Amino acid sequence: MNDPQIDRMIKHVQEATAPKTKAMTQLDLAAIRALPTGNRGSRPRKLTSNQRLAIYAFAKEGVPPVILAKVFGVQPNAIYYINNESTAANELVRRRYEALGKRVWSDIVTKEQMNAVNEAVRKEASPW
């Protein structure tokens, strides 16, 4: 099954390398086609409003953005964007966080998220 995005990438690489080298081998093409197809590009996957709120709450408690990015499966820049006070995403999340107060921990943040963040923080802090 061919993926149009992979095919465009192959064409781009072939055009860029053609003057300098021979055409890509079948092995090169197979390797490119074997790349995972999910969440490609510079844009991270979409987060739900509850996930953004949970990220904001964890960040307010001092959890590093890199850990939050791993736990929520996004690029670190998505975490920075949510917590950047000059973005629209931050304003919406901040208002909702302030409206909920401490209830955010019981109503929004799930036990799975809490456990995953705690485990990631533990691993990050552990020298082993």
Q: Is residue 12 situated within a structural domain?
A: yes
13-57 pLDDT per residue, tens: 666 655 555 555 666 656 666 665 554 455 545 889 999 999 999
Q: Are residues 56 and 10 in the same domain?
A: no
- Please tell me the predicted confidence (pLDDT) of residue 35: 60
Bigger pLDDT: 62 or 17? Answer: 62
Q: Which domain holds residue 28?
A: 4-33
DSSP 81: H
Q: Which of 55, 31, 46 is nearest to 110 (CA)?
A: 55
Q: Are residues 71 and 108 in the same domain?
A: yes
Q: Are residues 60 and 84 in the same domain?
A: yes
- Please tell me the predicted confidence (pLDDT) of residue 105: 94
Q: What is the dihedral of CA 77, 83, 86, 91, to 10 degrees?
A: 130
Q: Are residues 63 and 25 in the same domain?
A: no
- Please tell me the predicted confidence (pLDDT) of residue 44: 44
Bigger pLDDT: 66 or 124? Answer: 66
Number of domains present in the structure of the chain = 2
Q: Is residue 38 situated within a structural domain?
A: no
108 within 8 A of 114, measured Cβ to Cβ: no
Q: Are residues 25 and 57 in the same domain?
A: no
Q: Is residue 39 situated within a structural domain?
A: no
Bigger pLDDT: 29 or 91? Answer: 91
108-123 pLDDT per residue, tens: 999 999 999 999 999 8
Q: Are residues 21 and 54 in the same domain?
A: no
Q: Is residue 86 situated within a structural domain?
A: yes
Q: Is residue 41 situated within a structural domain?
A: no
121 within 8 A of 114, measured Cβ to Cβ: no
- Report the mean per-residue pLDDT for the chain: 80
Q: Is residue 42 situated within a structural domain?
A: no
Q: Are residues 56 and 119 in the same domain?
A: yes
Q: Could you tell me the pTM of the whole model?
A: 0.63
Q: Are residues 68 and 118 in the same domain?
A: yes
Q: How confident is the model at residue 90 (pLDDT cuts 50, 70, 90)?
A: confident
